[in-house]
Structure 1
Amino acid sequence: MIADAIQDPRPRPVDLAAALNASGIIGAWSWSPRDERCILDAGAADVLAGDSGLAGRPLPLSVAKACVHPEDRPAVVRQFKAVRARGGLFVAEYRTLSPSGQVRRILDRGRIPAGASSRRLGHGIIIDVTDASPPADVAAEPADALTQAVDRALECRDALEGVADTELQLLVDMLLLHLGRHIAKASTTGARGRGH
């Protein structure tokens, strides 16, 4: 997982922890179609399940998404189940409601393998876009280009699943995090342009 890569003692040319904090990345998740369980890192477990102590444990979807805002939960669960059934890209923007009452707006993006390919895991990231407000001079990038880039990066990550090279996996994760930041900026800019 990303958290393991951050704690790697080898020096990195970029301060990955600082980059994650600056980009609004909250955490990461994995999904096992065979077990129908989600594994969250500590950040994702805190925001999505309401308990960072659940990190690393296989959780049913109802627990892994327990803090999705009640008004948004039916649509998010329906969308996840639809993608889970056929496999493919999962992209959702929704609100979370913490046990203390804090509301956040989350961008959740990942790829889920088809249920038939039970040997593979799905992976994704969640980004806090609550206060996302890019500078006025940042133009929205074409959503299609970003979507295609994320699709290819997720395919690359899946292809590397059996490779015991954590540095390669870290590089792909860093690419996904950077793409996620750009998607969040494009999403916010587009929403402001529509008067939302």
Structure 2
Amino acid sequence: MATLAVGHAPTLVDCDLRAALDAAGVIGTWYWSASNGRFILDEGAASLLAGDGALAGAMLLPDRARARMLESDHARFERRFRIACRLGGSFFTEYRARSAEGYRSVIERGRLFHDEAGRPTHGQGIVLDVTEPADKPFSIVPAVHGERAEALDLAADHAIACRQALDRLAHSELRLLADLLLMRLGQEIAR
């Protein structure tokens, strides 16, 4: 990092971007091509998700690109990705991945793009490791399990898709109702 003069407030130029990304838990990046359904991961994402950093830059089938994702989290990931492909826009999901150190809590965030006809073309995003140390238990990923949690998660996925679809309409009352549903689902998930 650059040396700062006394009394000088740091600017973005003064920050070490890689150190800031590491501190935020950024593991790597991904790119998805709709034309062949394959993912391209950078070295960090390939190491954690595919289990082999040497796969960085290779075009990977979805199962290979997420080989270390826990099997129980695959269906939720695929459901959210399909919704994002259909609607376009933001993509966000969380899951667990196996690593040499144990299980990691992972968040993926990105954006899926469509052409003028509304067909998906590609997507890109980042992979974050939000695993908290065992001696400092705090996580932004809610620890919900069981049948109730699965039902709430599915309901939230559908409510998010509904809200995103309503964004395309100029009908504020319907958007408000969708927002209320999402807020209430969030309260139930937090319980």
TM-score (norm 1): 0.57
Native 8 Å contact 1:90 1:112 kept in 2: yes
| Mapping of residues 70-81 of structure 1, within 5 Å | 70-81=71-82
Q: Aligned partner of 2:89: which letter?
A: G
Measure how far apart 1:101 and its partner are. Answer: 6.8
Identity %: 42
CA deviations 1:110-144 (Å, max 9, x no partner) are: 011237253xx311011111118799xxxxxxxxx
Q: 3-state DSSP class of the match of 1:71?
A: helix
In the TM superposition, residue 43 of structure 1 has moved relative to its aligned partner by 0.6
Task: Judge conservation of contact 2:111–2:123 (CA < 8 Å) in 1.
Answer: yes
Q: Deviations over 1:64-101 (max 9, x none)?
A: 11111111112112221232233221100111113x47
Q: Which has the higher contact order (CA 8 A, sep 6+)?
A: 1
Q: Distance in 2 between matches of 1:111 and 1:63?
A: 21
- Structure 1 gaps of 5+ residues are 1-11, 136-189
Q: What CA RMSD, in Å, does the superposition of the two structures yield over aligned residues?
A: 2.8
Corresponding residue for residue 24 of structure 2: 23
Distance 1:101 1:129 in 2: 14
**Unmatched 5+ stretches in structure 2:** 1-12, 139-185
Q: Which residue of 1 aligns with 2:67?
A: 66
Aligned residues: 126
Structure 1 residues 134, 113: closer, same or farther in 2, change over 3 A? Answer: farther
TM-score by length of 2: 0.58
Aligned equivalents of 2:32 and 2:39: distance in 1? Answer: 4
Give distance in 2, aligned partners of 1:50 and 1:84: 25
Aligned to 1:116: 119
More strand as a share of residues: 2
